[in-house]
Structure 1
């Protein structure tokens, strides 16, 4: 389960909203939508902490949502004590100190039962057809009627489909989530609307914001790169390490800033990757390699001899 997501965004057009300092104002929902697309994960978490329990609609990249969930999963594994402390805090807030009381309460005795709903029965009868053959003999043929699927409503809450004597119940999956705000908009790479945030994630935000020794919102994620051999003759290798997966590109430039070629463009995985670079068509000199992924950028200098 994702601990932060926007499961049901609507189709309001972001470009038709009124621009504001934080993002845009949605006339339909009468709410300001915070634009997170140009913010880091740490900046997003800081704003989420400030808006816990309030209506906070957002416009965010799908890759940013993935990163927020990945960071929470890592924190939960590395800091089990903090996670347990946050969970206990939630129990106290929801149930109060009576949760830890040793007094035994007498269980109520159920004297009467109330039957809710209705019994669904469908009886099917066979239908006889009489035929007359060439010898004038009559023959009765039993033909079974096919039942027609019928959808009915029980207690205005659960739909059942009746097919013959089989009753099929529609499956409904529920999860305990905290929902604030109103859905706003969605496009291919961006989703706008209110986040659906689990209670665990809310407590994680509060805990890490108050405990700088456990986690730092100011920790900046960067790309690291290395070219080897350097200097190189006709062939060299670029080693890149990304703190998170995402779309990216690697480009080769001359020292004067002129672009020579695109080494790679597409999805880049988290962790280390290597790219072989052909230098046979280049003159002797110093060159630059730009690695860009999301809001991260790294420039590596190397020489050809």
Structure 2
């Protein structure tokens, strides 16, 4: 997703009345949300909320007109076009079959929801990317991937047909270590397919 300002506001931010999460613009008669201290994931989370419509925002120039960097979890779920909510709990699960009617991910659903901002075309929104992956799980420290009970590498998961995915489950923290031992230190992503997975030799 890109943040694009087709018609930037001409009002002075410094002259607006400070509020808890931004400033009130007397000319527009609405609150301008301050995003300058937010990470890409925080901005994504904000606009994923269906109630976040008709929003005016204050951004740094460096936050605009570039591909936003999603976390590895967002990238994964975007690949399979499944809407999800990541919580602070140990296990997060989503059922692909129950979400067959959700043909657009949370990211693409942002399209057209924002008046003062606009999202880039869908093909740029859904491009899988690991550039935003936390340093602790990059390279050889990536999460453990398990497909139908078989430990596989990330490339194998990438090559899976999304239509054959039945369920995705993320196991984090102590829960992951308790089940998978030291291999689960960086979290475990458990994929269940609809017909069963056979590892190629």
TM-score under structure 2 length normalisation: 0.40
TM-score under structure 1 length normalisation: 0.28
Structure with greater strand percent: 1
- Larger relative CO (CA 8 A, sep 6+): 1 or 2? 2
* Larger Rg belongs to: 1
